[in-house]
Structure 1
Amino acid sequence: MAEVMKDAETLQYEGNEVGILISHGFTGTTQSIKPLADAFSREGYTVISPRLAGHGTSPEDMEETSEKDWILSVENAYHWLQERCEMVFVAGLSMGGTLALYIAETFKEVKGVISINGAIDMPKLEQSAEESTEHFLAAIGSDIHKEGAFELAYQETPVGSVAAFVRLMTNVRKRLNGIHCPILLFVSDEDHVVPPGNSEEIFETVFSEHKELVHLENSYHVATLDHDQDLILERSLEFFETYINTK
């Protein structure tokens, strides 16, 4: 079994009857969303941030997994929360946002979903993989505006894994109109990984009665580690509090 990087492990916090699932992104680790997991836990919530299959070890290990394995990682985390909690919210960064949307559409009892620069269409990444004659592409991690901030992620991107990511995005994009729970979307106005139009399309397509799109003016893609981290935390906690007491 591949050795897991330090700070890439699954995060689990036992708390009250409100559960929150947070997923990290493609080639990334739980380090990128640990500030959220820690903050939500301090509020008393039960929180889990799973290490997605093939992540936090090596790019070669990631190549052996597919979107089905990543989905299973978040589904297992969701069931872990269901066993302990009366209600569950789901959230995610980048591909983690994609997976959160998948869970929200699959499990209709989800109380609410938060997407932070969620991905449903990345033509440049797909084109790069199709045109590449190499086994790996350049790294896509650490797109952060804040000086000194760093994302723990792979230093190269397996070409084979891009195809799995594209299949996941295509699947979720087709199912967006099946999402009816409240949704909070954060989008960085300047994102060098996922085009901001992704979040706008998600906002326009979901059938949620309660939906909000929050623009992040001072963060790049990994907004959870960037200048707008406090805004994300504040608005997310308000989102939970708003819908915990609604039927």
Structure 2
Amino acid sequence: MAEKYPVLQNAESFFMEGGDIGVLVQHGFTGTTQSMRFLGEFLAQVGFTVYAPRLKGHGTHYEDMEATSYEDWIASAEEGYQKLKAACREVFVVGLSMGGTIALHLAEEYPDIAGIMLINAAVRVKNFEPLAKETTRYLDAIGSDIKAPDVAELAYSKTPVASVKQFLTFKDIVASRLSAVTCPTLVLVSREDHVVPPEDSDYILAHITSELKEKVVLENSYHVATLDNDKELIARQCAAFISEINQMKTKS
């Protein structure tokens, strides 16, 4: 189904051509590529080819999101992955929140992914389950959980209950297959997060079977950490992780 509303300014997909290593940069549930632009630009500046796809139903109006399914969101991300794979020698994936859930899904489906970087990724979010039982059509916004003052996430003002149900189904599927994730994994998790419990990141680390897995705790950011006080730290950590993996491959 076609989207009924135009794409919001700063919510568009963006592509930045660099070297032969690609990085898929994936935004989260009800969010937009605006939350990932700083990270994407940093990775492009250090020489990577970056693509940040806008998930279908996102970045327009919450009525568009309500009409989409988790399969639509996966399709948007997979199309982005295939675009990078066609242009680059290898591809890494970095995702925020549900973008991290999508990164895990891609790693489960495509074992040739070089590595994933998860920022406050969601796989359990027990706090979301009561939301799916709400009888109203729309809930209040869940975006802009940011510690830094005067910073706002470009995200929907309402959250469709139908979309919450889709997300819960998707995260359960991904969580049930975590053992299929074998690629190098960097987990970045905010110590204080009012959207996704930090315990989700520990659950991921405990259930993936990657030989190389690292955890970085973000001390000064809430959920949308890519726009928060630790955004530079995240960017540096992701760039260093990609370089580390590539150096290991070169030596082997």
Q: TM-score, normalised by structure 1?
A: 0.98
Quote the residue 2:149 is aligned against.
Answer: 147
**Residue 66 of structure 1 contacts residue 164 of structure 1 at CA under 8 Å; is this kept in 2?**
yes
Q: Which residue of 43, 46, 54 maps to 1:40?
A: 43
Provide, for residues 93-143 of structure 1, a one-character-per-residue CA deviation record: whole Å limited to 9, x for no partner: 00000001111111010000000000001222221221x221101100000
Aligned partner letter, 2:127: K
Alignment of 1:1-247 (within 5 A): 1-130=4-133, 132-247=134-249
Q: Distance in 2 between matches of 1:237 and 1:71?
A: 25
Q: Distance in 1 between matches of 2:90 and 2:247?
A: 11
**Residue 131 of structure 2 contacts residue 164 of structure 2 at CA under 8 Å; is this kept in 1?**
no
Identity %: 48
Provide, for residues 196-237 of structure 1, a one-character-per-residue CA deviation record: whole Å limited to 9, x for no partner: 000000011110101011111110000001111111111111
Give the secondary-structure state (helix, strand or coil) at the position aligned to 1:153. coil
- Aligned-residue Cα RMSD (Å) equals 0.8
Aligned partner letter, 1:8: A
**Residue 120 of structure 2 contacts residue 190 of structure 2 at CA under 8 Å; is this kept in 1?**
yes
Provide, for residues 130-165 of structure 1, a one-character-per-residue CA deviation record: whole Å limited to 9, x for no partner: 1x2211011000000000111000001000000110
Q: Distance in 1 between matches of 2:194 and 2:128?
A: 11
**Residue 15 of structure 1 contacts residue 41 of structure 1 at CA under 8 Å; is this kept in 2?**
yes
Q: Distance in 2 between matches of 1:230 and 1:179?
A: 27
Structure 1, unmatched stretches of 5+, are none
**Residue 23 of structure 1 contacts residue 96 of structure 1 at CA under 8 Å; is this kept in 2?**
yes
Q: Distance in 2 between matches of 1:148 and 1:60?
A: 27
Give, in angstroms, the shift of residue 69 of structure 1: 0.4
Q: Distance in 1 between matches of 2:128 and 2:172?
A: 14
